Amino acid sequence: MTSRKDYRKKNTQGSKYLIIAGVAVIVLACAGIWGHNAYQQHQATVLAENKKQVAYNKKHFNANVTIYGVKVGKLTVDQAVEKIQDKAVNKLVYKDGKISAVRDSKLTTISKEQVQKYFDKQYTQLPTDQSYNYENTALKKGKSKLKAITAASVDYSVAGKTFTLAAKDYLTQVSYYSGAVHYDDASKLTAKLNAMDKEVKTLGKSYKFKTPAGSTITVTNQSYGWGIWTASAKKAVLSAYETGKKTIDGKNHIYGEGYTTQGLGYGKSNNGLGNNYVVVSIASQDMWVVVNGKAVVTVSDVVTGTANKGDNATPTGVWYIMYKQQDATLRGQNDNGSNYASKVSYWMPFTMSGCGLHDASWRTDWSSTAYLKGGSHGCVNIRPSEIKSVWDAVKVHMPVIVY
């Protein structure tokens, strides 16, 4: 039988265990609360740091970003633009057979809009160590283009001759920037085209000519003829270098002098005269209109410019009919300084100074010697009764040979 004393002892021990258990529970509860608070505090710190990094990354490049060979990691878009402009190469130069990449401070290397596009491509919400490299693709293409251009060659055909023009021989310096090719020094090409012009041009050329009267004379082209239009030819050659075109037809790049600048007589026989032309003999005061090699109109009593007055003498050489006009009024100045205004029914000028073929209703002296002292102011006067046949046979741009 348990005594009261033993019962108390056992009861006391139970209470101790309960107290210990309670304390343990309290301690564990406190520890849990502390741990939970610590976790929450850590999470809050991480969240705050993440927010800071997110905010930072919205305005700054990631750490390992390169644009056009320039490191822009951790820079803003504006800072990146400035650094790229200061550091990146932006131009390719071909010189002495080599292509070099250089920086030209006068050029705009990249726009803010383009940098913003690169920023958007590399953007991540949180920082990353991933590498991003954005090359200047325009310069990459430009290098290939310069290589192709400087290796190009074109055959330039003109007046039955062919000239081979290799780019490496005529391009001293070529640049590529802002998405385009720039020919900094193509002076050798210009010089070559000028030399070609001297070799083949017919303007100013002298040659033998058989007159309708049967004599052979030497005549010289004045406004009639053509030459190589160097500026146009140069543009065509450079374009061929860029596009890879292998041949150029020179007839598309000629020039002329006088009223029309298109060039006349190219590719024609008979030294460019062809078989249709006007011939005026000052010595005999005769004129012929030749069509298809035959004289279809012959006028044996024209009157040319007054021979004993240099300014009024009809100029010799090969010219061309500039245009045709009916019912014209010819104006000028007489030898005494007075002005004249002569009405004509048919007017066919052949010099820029005002000489041409026309009827002269006011003239009474049609003798073969009238031109010596009483000729015209330089024009070829034709009787009103004969002018219509001349008008009908003569065409615009027809050569006019005066000898």
DSSP string, 122-184: H--SS-----EEE--HHHHHHHHHHHHHHT-EEEEEETTEEEEEEHHHH-SEEEEETTEEEEE
**Residue 2: what pLDDT?**
53
- List the structure tokens of 97: 């057979």
Q: For tokens 């057979």, name the residue.
A: 97
CB 109 within 8 A of CB 88: yes
Give the E-state strand segments of 241-321 in sequence order.
Answer: 247-249, 254-255, 277-281, 286-291, 294-299, 317-320
- List the structure tokens of 192: 């070559």
Q: Burial letters for 316-354: b for 16+ Cβ neighbours within 10 Å, e otherwise? A: ebbbbbbebeeebebeeeeeeeeeeebebebbbbbbeee
**Residue 334: what pLDDT?**
86
* DSSP codes joined into one string, 349-377: E-STTS-EEEE-TT----STTHHHHH-BS
**How far is residue 136's CA from residue 122's CA, in Å, rounded to a whole number?**
16
Q: For tokens 């850590």, name the residue.
A: 42
DSSP state of 335: T
CB 371 within 8 A of CB 303: yes
The closest alpha carbon to 223, from 314, 312, 315, 320, belongs to: 320
pTM, two decimals, is: 0.81
In Å, how far from its chain's centre is CA 231? 11
**pLDDT tens track, the chain, 403 positions:** 555 555 555 555 656 665 665 555 554 554 555 455 666 676 766 677 889 999 999 999 999 999 999 999 999 999 999 999 999 999 999 999 999 999 999 999 999 999 999 999 999 999 999 999 999 999 999 999 999 999 999 999 999 999 999 999 999 999 999 999 999 999 999 999 999 999 999 999 999 999 999 999 999 999 999 999 999 999 999 999 999 999 999 999 999 999 999 999 999 999 999 999 999 999 999 999 999 999 999 999 999 999 998 789 999 999 999 999 999 999 998 888 899 999 999 999 999 999 999 999 999 999 999 999 999 999 999 999 999 999 999 999 999 999 9
**Residue 223: what pLDDT?**
98
- List the structure tokens of 288: 């012929």
**Residue 63: what pLDDT?**
97
**Residue 56: what pLDDT?**
95
Cα-Cα-Cα-Cα torsion 133, 138, 142, 145, nearest 10 degrees, comes to 110
Task: List alpha helices for 224-341, DSSP H.
Answer: 230-243
Residues facing 320 on adjacent strands: 399
Residues whose CB falls within 8 Å of the CB of residue 278, separated by 6 or more in sequence, listed in order: 287, 288, 289, 290, 321, 350, 357, 394, 398, 399, 400, 401
**How far is residue 92's CA from residue 216's CA, in Å, rounded to a whole number?**
60
Residues whose CB falls within 8 Å of the CB of residue 72, separated by 6 or more in sequence, listed in order: 61, 65, 66, 79, 80, 83, 84
The closest alpha carbon to 210, from 144, 296, 167, 273, belongs to: 273
Angle at 240 between CA 237 and CA 246, to 5 degrees: 105
